[in-house]
Structure 1
C-alpha cells in the first residue's frame, strides 16, 4: 500500500526530472548525459534560440573532456567508514563556470545560462529538514556519543509511538509481541556485542597474517590503477580526436555555407580539442614512466 502511494505521488516518470540528473558531476562522461542536456536545452521554453541550443551541445562536448579537479566534486572521505562527502552541486557548477579559455574568455557561455536556470528550479526538502530536526532533538549534548544504530532505534521507536499511539506512549497497545521484544532486548544487545568483539578479533588475526604481503599487494594495486588510468586516457584521447575531427568538419561546412554562427561553434570544439590533446599526451607519457618504475620495483 505504501509503495503504491509513493509511486502514485512521486514524479517517477517525469522525463524532465530524469534528464536533470545529467548535471550531477559523476554523470559528466556518460553518453546519456549528452542526450539529456540537449533535451533540457530544447524543452525549457523561451530560454535558448536554435543557435544557442547547438552551442550548448558543443560546450557540453568540451565539458565532457575538461580536466575537473577531484576536490571540486568530493569534499572529504571518512577513512573509518569510507563515507564520501560531496561538494554541493551549486558550488561545483560555480567552479565549472569559472573555467576560462586560453584567451581569458568564459569557456561555457551558453551552458552557464542553461545550468543556472536548471539549478534555480525549486524542489521540496521539507521531509529531510524534518528528519534533521528530529535528530537534533534526539542527539543532545548529553547523548552525543550515540552511534548510528542507537539513533536509528530511537527514530524507529519515536515513529512507532506516533503510528500506534498518535504520539502518546500510554496509548500504544501492549501486545504480546511488544512485551516479548522488550524482555529479549538486553539479551540481544549482549549477543550483538559479543559478535562484534569476535568480528574485531578475526579482523586483527587476518590483518596479522597478511601483513607481510601488504607491500606486494600495494604495488599490484598501484599497477592496476595505472593501467586503468592509461586505458581511460587512451579513451579520452580518442574522444578528443573525434571532437577535433567534428570541429574541423563543421568549420569547413560553415565556411562553405557562410554560416558565421556555426564558425564560432566549430572554433569552440577545435580549440578545446587541441588543448585537451596536448594535456592527454603529456599525461600518457607520465603514466608510462610511472608504470615502468612500478614494474621495476616489483622485480626486486
Structure 2
C-alpha cells in the first residue's frame, strides 16, 4: 500500500513525459512539484516553504534530520495509514513495529529523492533555463525569461551552435515576443498535457520574419530530448511489425508507412495524390529492378569471395614454398658439414649421415617443384577471375 501510494504520486509525471512532444520547457517546474510532493511526506512545513526554486531543491540535504517531521508523522498514504491503525487497534502490530515501518518508509523516500536530485536533467543549467520557452512563463514573467534565454545563448555560443554576433538580436526579438505573448490568451492558458509548445511557437514565432533570429535558436532548443520514450516505443513497433525472414528494407518501409499514418491522424486522412498513384503503378517495375540489382550484387560478391579464397590459398602456398626452401638449405648445409667431417676424420659414419640428408633434400626439391606448379595454377585461376 505504501509503495502504491508513492507510485500513484509519481505515475502522472511519468505518463506526461512518455510523449514525443517537446517537454523540456516544463520539466524543471514539474520536477520541482514532484519532489516537493515526496518531501511533504516526511519534511516539515518550514523546509518545504524554503524550496522556492529548482536550484534550492538541488542543494537540499534530505538526510538532515532538522528538516524532518517527527517520524510518527511520516505520511505513508491514506490506505496504508488506515491499515496500520487497524492493525495497531487489533494488537497485531506494536507501536515499535509501526515506528520501524515509518522509519523504513522515510529512508526509502530519502533515497529516492537523493537519486532524483543527483540524476535528474535539471542539474544542467541549460535544462533549467528551458523554462523560458514555457508559454505561460513568457506571458507572465518576461524578465525571468530573458535572463534564462541569455544563459542558454551562452551555452549555445560556447558549443559553436550560434554566432555571438546575433545574440543581441535574439534577445531583442525574444523580449518583443514575450510582450506579444502577454497579450495572447493561448499563451496564458496553455496546457502541456493537451497543447504542443512547438506548434504554438511555430504558428506565432516561426512564421514571422520579425522573429527569425530567435526562432532559429528556439528550433535548436526544442529538438532536445527529454527522455527515451520515442526510442522505446520504436522497439515495440518493430516487434509488432517484424516477421520471420523479413528483410531490413521491408521493416524500414513499414516503419515509414506507420509513421506517416500516425502523423496524419489515421489511414482515412492519408492523401491519395498523383505522385502516390504513380509510385504505386511503378512499384512492380521497381521491385524487379531491385531484384536484378540484388542478383548482380550477389554475383559480384561471390566473385570477390572466390578471389579472396584463391588469394588466401596462394599466400599459404607461398609460405609453404619458403619453408621448404629453408628446409632444403638447412639439409644441404648439414650434409656438407658431415662430408667435411668425414674427410677430416676419416669416419665413414659421417658420410652415411651426409648421404641421408642429401636424399631428404632431394625429396624436398621434388615437393618444392610440386608447390611451384600449384602456385602457377592458382595465379592462372586468379587471372581468369
TM-score by length of 2: 0.28
Q: Looking at CA atoms only, which structure, 1 or 2, has the larger radius of gyration?
A: 2
TM-score by length of 1: 0.35
